Structure 1
Amino acid sequence: MKTALVIGTGLMGTSVALALRAHGATVHLRDTDSGAARTAASLGAGTVVPPEEPVELAVLAVPPALVAEVLSDVQAEGVARHCTDVAGVKAGPRQDALALDCDTARYLGGHPMAGGERSGPLAARADLFEGCTWVLTPTADTGTDTLNTVLELVSACRAVPVVMAADAHDRAVGLVSHVPHVVASLVAALLTRAEEREVRLAGPGVRDLTRIAGADPRLWVDILSANSLVVADLLESLSAGLEDAVGGLRAMAATDEAKRGQGVRDIEELLRKGVAGRARISGKHGVHPTPYETVTIQIGDQPGELARLFTDVGRAGVNIEDVHLEHSTVQPTGLVRLSVAQGTAVGLEESLGARGWRQR
């Protein structure tokens, strides 16, 4: 791909533009917020100068509710031969596009399964999509040239294309993205009513669970409003599980031994299902779940310590599959949990121990 137009220069749009620029494409940037577009351009994402002739692909990095409107305008303008989007919901925008009589043969919905808590062009990265799943939702009228052009985009971003029907996509992201965000926000909201001394006890569990709750509420209102019924149905199923959990926990506190025993069994079954569900999630995007071994290292809070640890792991010839940091609330130290391939943990522990790293 040699030319592209990115409309919307937030986190997603600017990251797409940076990836395309790294791939050698000429990228034109457009945003209703001219300041955001200029910021993206200053980061090397492209130019705010309009294209003199139609580009190969227009990437619509706008909220789901605006995709069809922007698509209609782009096609009327004739500024791009093909169009795609990166919105987190797919069925609604396509229905809106049909209602506006857009040329759906030259439009293919897409959704890269990547993002971050921070928004805006300054949070963008050229490698944001590397290794991630990029869902494509073609239909019977999707043109072959359009499909191939969008596949070029996915390849340039080093993502993994996955084809799904729009409705199936929306239910899937409701389950793995939208519902977790609502649940994280509900848990985080409890902290607003907690005493300061309670919040100070926050450890890695609540930090991990509420991390995504720090995202821009305005962005998430747009996402949830476009998939509200799917999310509502899933939350209704979750609420039934919460009621069972509440019943089991109250039974565990009962004076009747039989009730206590049943409560214990109910909660244990819930926790076992949680373990089974968690095991189905891959540690890497687009890869089947793989069992790893864990090496836990104590690390000081000095500049460069984490880089030194990673360097020593590399010297041991071991690849880090995943990493998790836990900070101490009372000491200037922390724990680094390294996930490594099976059969490599013992050798890594010996190598790091020889280099002075304390293990836990």
Structure 2
Amino acid sequence: MRTALVTGTGLIGTSLALALASRGVRVHLADRDPGAVRTAAALGAGTEEPPEGPVDLAVVAVPPAHLAAAVAALQRRGAARGYIDVGSVKGGPRRELAALGGALASYLGTHPMSGRERSGPLAATGDLFDGRPWVLTPTPETDTEVLNQALELVALCRAVPVLMDADAHDRAVALVSHTPQLLSSLLAARLRTADEAAVRLSGQGIRDMTRIAGSAPQMWLDILSANPGPVADVLAEIAGDLDEAVRSLRAMESADEHKRAAGAAGVEDVLRRGNAGRERVPGKHGSAPAAYETVAVLITDRPGELARIFADAGSAGINVEDVRIEHATGREAGLVQLMVEPSSAPRLTAALRERGWSIRP
């Protein structure tokens, strides 16, 4: 791949363009917002100049509702040898493109499973897709050349290709991406009118659960509008579980011992099913999640503290598998939770204590 046209210079489009440009591809940028194009170009994502002729690959990175029309318009212009989109919904846009008379053979729907809470070109980074799954949805009509172009694109972005049926993809992302966004927003909405005293008690749990609630509403409205049915199906199943959980919790308030026991059993069932589901989420390097030991270290909010603690762990020969930071409300301090192999935890604890760190249980 020597030339590419990226239409849509938001987070995904600009990140993709940055990755391609850094690997020697001449990238032409287009967007209905000239300011976004100028920003992306200034970041080194490509050139504002239109291509002189057809490029090798046109990448459409616009909201799902506009994907099909954008691809069809590019195809009518003969803008490229192949066309892909990077939208988060796949089945609907393909059917819409067919209805518009688009050439399905030269088109392939794709979806990089990566993003951030922030949007726009200034949030972009060339390593956004490193090691992340990138779904490709070819059909028997898809030209082999276009599939190969898409695979080359994924490789240049250092992502991991995953082949799926388009509608199966939409059901999958409804479960693992779109519904979590709504649930995070629903939970965060409870904080809007909560007592200030309650909000000040917020710990890492509520921060983890509401992190993605900070995403741009309009962006998510565009995504959810393109995949409402599968998301509603998942939410309906969760609503049934919530109803059962509410009944179980109410039963635990009963004066009747048998009702309390039945309620506790219902809540325990939810928690255990949650354990079983969580165990299926891929862990490091895509493997089954490992059972790590946590070493909690008190850390002050001073420049270089995180670097120092990681350097001390490295000097002790310990590989930190994962890390979380729990901030202390109202204090310039927090707990750094270092996740390591269970056999390494005692050595890490001893080494950090020797270097003056305060280890917390």
Match of 2:124, as an amino acid? A
> What secondary structure sits across from 1:185 in the alignment?
helix
* Cα drift, residue 65 of structure 1: 1.0
Match of 2:209, as an amino acid? L
TM-score normalized by structure 2? 0.97
2:237 aligned residue: 237
1:298 aligned residue: 298
* Cα drift, residue 285 of structure 1: 6.6
> What secondary structure sits across from 2:82 in the alignment?
strand
Distance 1:28 1:319 in 2: 42
Q: Which is further off, 208-217 or 347-356?
A: 347-356
2:126 aligned residue: 126
Unaligned runs of 5+ residues in structure 2 are none
Q: Which is further off, 348-357 or 31-40?
A: 348-357
Distance 1:17 1:314 in 2: 35
Distance 1:98 1:341 in 2: 52
Does structure 1 conserve the Cα–Cα contact (< 8 Å) formed by 2:84 and 2:150? yes
* Cα drift, residue 55 of structure 1: 1.2
Does structure 2 conserve the Cα–Cα contact (< 8 Å) formed by 1:10 and 1:121? yes
1:20 aligned residue: 20
Does structure 2 conserve the Cα–Cα contact (< 8 Å) formed by 1:88 and 1:223? yes
* Cα drift, residue 120 of structure 1: 0.4
Residues 287 and 65 from structure 1, CA distance in 2 versus in 1: closer, same or farther, beyond 3 angstroms?
farther
Distance 1:156 1:345 in 2: 38
Does structure 2 conserve the Cα–Cα contact (< 8 Å) formed by 1:132 and 1:286? no
Distance 2:12 2:126 in 1: 10
Does structure 2 conserve the Cα–Cα contact (< 8 Å) formed by 1:131 and 1:286? no
1:48 aligned residue: 48
Does structure 2 conserve the Cα–Cα contact (< 8 Å) formed by 1:322 and 1:340? yes
1:146-184, CA deviations, whole angstroms, 9 ceiling, x for partnerless residues? Answer: 111110110111111010101110011000111111111
Matches within 5 A, 1:201-350: 201-284=201-284, 286-350=286-350
Percent identity among equivalent residues? 57
Residues 129 and 287 from structure 1, CA distance in 2 versus in 1: closer, same or farther, beyond 3 angstroms?
farther
TM-score normalized by structure 1? 0.97
> What secondary structure sits across from 2:321 in the alignment?
strand
> What secondary structure sits across from 2:52 in the alignment?
coil
Q: Which is further off, 332-341 or 218-227?
A: 332-341
Does structure 2 conserve the Cα–Cα contact (< 8 Å) formed by 1:301 and 1:332? yes
* Cα drift, residue 342 of structure 1: 4.7
1:217-254, CA deviations, whole angstroms, 9 ceiling, x for partnerless residues? Answer: 00000100111011111111100000000000000000
Unaligned runs of 5+ residues in structure 1 are none
Does structure 2 conserve the Cα–Cα contact (< 8 Å) formed by 1:133 and 1:285? no
Match of 2:174, as an amino acid? G
Paired residues, what number?
Answer: 360
**What is the root-mean-square deviation in Å for CA atoms of aligned residues?**
1.3
1:262-306, CA deviations, whole angstroms, 9 ceiling, x for partnerless residues? Answer: 111111111111111112112347443333332222111112211
Does structure 1 conserve the Cα–Cα contact (< 8 Å) formed by 2:3 and 2:56? yes
Does structure 2 conserve the Cα–Cα contact (< 8 Å) formed by 1:132 and 1:285? no
1:317-348, CA deviations, whole angstroms, 9 ceiling, x for partnerless residues? Answer: 33332211100114321111122245332332
Distance 2:347 2:169 in 1: 42
Matches within 5 A, 1:85-234: 85-234=85-234
> What secondary structure sits across from 2:36 in the alignment?
helix
Does structure 1 conserve the Cα–Cα contact (< 8 Å) formed by 2:279 and 2:288? no
Distance 2:301 2:62 in 1: 40
